[in-house]
Amino acid sequence: MQSKEPTDYERRIIEIMRDHHLALSEAMEYDFVSEGVDIDSAIGMCDYLEEKLVDLNKVQYYMLIYTGQSADLELRRL
C-alpha cells in the first residue's frame, strides 16, 4: 500500500506554486526546465516523474494535468 504522505517532489512542486504564483502545470514545467528534462519528450517527462513519484497512478495524474487533459490546480489563500 502506498503512503498518503506527499513525496519530496510533491512538496517541491507546491513550494514552486506558492513562491512563483503558478498553477500546477506551470510549476511542473518550471521544475522540468530547471532539472534539464526535455519538455518535448513525453517519455522523458514520464521517466522523470516515475523516478520522483514512484507511484505510476500519480505519474498518470500529473501528466493528465500537464497535458491539459484534466483540470489544472491553483493554490489560493484561505
Rounded to whole angstroms, how far apart are CA atoms 4 and 55? 11
Q: How confident is the model at residue 5 (pLDDT cuts 50, 70, 90)?
A: confident
Task: Decide: residue 57, CB within 10 A, 0-12 exposed, 13-18 middle, 19+ buried.
Answer: exposed
> Please, what is the Cα angle at 69 between 37 and 62, to 5 degrees?
45
pLDDT in tens, 26-60: 999 999 999 999 999 999 999 999 999 989 999 99
pTM metric for this prediction: 0.88
Q: Is the pLDDT of residue 1 over 70?
A: no
